[in-house]
Amino acid sequence: MSTWFVRCVLPVWWLYDRLLPKRADHWAFFVHPLKTDQFVENSRAVFEAVKDDPALCKVLFTRGEVARLRLEGGRNVRVVELQSLQGLALLACCGVFLLTNAITFDLSWRWGTDGFAVLRPSLGRRIIVNLWHGIPLKRLFALTSPQMRQQADRIALRREERAYYQGLISSSDVDSHAMAAIFHPIDPARVWVTGLPRNDFLRMPESHLPTFLRDEVQLVRDLKKARKLIVYAPTYRESSGGEAGGYCFSEEEIVRLRELLRRHDAVLGFRMHYFRRHGQTFSLEQYADGDSIIDLGHALISEIAPILREADLLVTDYSSVYIDALYVDKPVFSFAYDLEHYQTQQNGLLYDMQLAFPGPVVGSFSALLDKLGQELMRPHLVASEHYRMARKFFFNHQDDRNASRVVGRLKNLMAEARDGE
């Protein structure tokens, strides 16, 4: 794709999009902006809830890779390449945008090693809902430091679009206030306390899961081999005293870890953050043996739900994945070996860990092994009052109806749009 082609086509599309009538029954879905071969998380859960509705045209916009979309069934579903003339024509028709991240991510054109252009759709003539992927534990966007905020909002549209969202999903009353602040200048009344659609995959009966998720549940079972599964899932770091992907394990620590696993008939499955810089590797990857230490990364397991359904304990640092674990009553541990550095030199946290994290928060590897051993011997964390309060803090709903609540809100907006014509 040449630069001159983009420079010629996108301004024409800008005008076309502003002249063409929008169809509220055409819903635009987008593949993951970075894992472009995957259609996952909240967008996928909402799609699964409406895919058989013949009154809606579901348009899934891809980015060249469709091998792992794993769609099944559905009525009135179209799959189209975003970076094509057909994709531009269909995008201009869609009256509903269901974002995975932001317009500046989901609707960007990319080519070569550094070619990048942002589509600028008409924001006021369609329903735009942000299906943000998780419950934020870290400071993001409007709540970050001035330097990071300037970097995040260097494309002016990224801040501008937030004022036009007709909906932004959240999980609880507390979470809704945090989301309203993070996504300023959104109208706080437009933050929906629906719960996260992808959490439906955690609680729905296994037989109701999409086939690809049932297959991934079985894959995790095959890898754990009827043993207890400890999941290690750290957050991404821009920089660290250790490595961008988390703690640097020593050979001596791995020996001690394997002894703990052997003693409790357990296996450690690690899931590093999907974002890597320049092919970086993480220290645990060199110790993966497919037996006591196994890789449960994004290339193998596309969603976190199959892993958490099969997990017995979760270890993270500051990743909000622990909140997903609370949704299915799993014990959680924070290996907060660089807490001060993370608070002062990186994104920092929205909440005090002692308030929002209902499991042990430890700063050393030895303390982590000790706490894991105690829970494996005598499970008690989930029954604690602290755990119960954390669930209440983060969830207004703890069921498998989150996607249905989002769809209900969307259909109400469609009805209001029709009444206003």
CB of 408 closer than 8 Å to CB of 169? no
The total of structural domains in the chain comes to 2
> Do 380 and 407 have their domain in common?
no
> Do 270 and 349 have their domain in common?
yes
- Strands 191-193, 167-170: pairing kind: parallel
Domain of residue 411 covers 3-200+400-419
Identify the pLDDT of residue 72.
92
> Do 269 and 188 have their domain in common?
no
Q: How far apart are CA 382 and CA 329, in angstroms?
A: 6
Q: What is the CA radius of gyration of the chain?
A: 22
Say which CATH number the domain at 69 has. 3.40.50.11820
> Do 171 and 229 have their domain in common?
no
CB of 290 closer than 8 Å to CB of 203? no
Identify the pLDDT of residue 299.
87
> Do 21 and 121 have their domain in common?
yes
Identify the pLDDT of residue 419.
75
> Do 54 and 174 have their domain in common?
yes
Identify the pLDDT of residue 242.
44
The token pair at 326 is 């609370």
Identify the pLDDT of residue 420.
66
Q: How far apart are CA 235 and CA 258, in angstroms?
A: 23
> Do 344 and 414 have their domain in common?
no
Q: Give strand pairing partners of 127.
A: 96
Identify the pLDDT of residue 150.
59
> Do 248 and 122 have their domain in common?
no
Please give the chain's pLDDT, 421 residues, in tens. Answer: 567 777 788 999 999 999 999 999 999 999 998 888 899 999 999 999 999 999 999 999 998 877 678 999 999 999 999 999 999 999 999 999 999 999 999 998 888 777 888 899 999 999 999 999 999 887 676 666 666 555 556 567 788 999 999 999 999 999 999 999 999 999 999 999 999 999 999 999 999 999 999 999 999 999 999 999 999 999 876 654 444 456 889 999 999 999 999 999 999 999 987 766 555 667 888 999 999 999 999 989 999 999 999 999 999 998 899 999 999 999 999 999 888 877 776 667 888 888 899 999 999 999 999 999 999 999 999 999 999 999 999 999 999 999 999 999 999 999 988 876 6
Q: How far apart are CA 229 and CA 271, in angstroms?
A: 12
> Do 355 and 372 have their domain in common?
yes
Say which CATH number the domain at 303 has. 3.40.50.12580
Identify the pLDDT of residue 280.
62
How far, rounded to the nearest angstrom, does the alpha carbon of residue 18 sit from its chain's CA centroid? 31
> Do 255 and 291 have their domain in common?
yes
Identify the pLDDT of residue 393.
95
Q: Give strand pairing partners of 96.
A: 27, 127
CB of 190 closer than 8 Å to CB of 165? yes
Q: Which residues 6+ apart lie within 8 Å of 409 measured at CB?
A: 129, 167, 192, 194
> Do 234 and 255 have their domain in common?
yes
Q: Which residues 6+ apart lie within 8 Å of 218 measured at CB?
A: none
> Do 26 and 157 have their domain in common?
yes
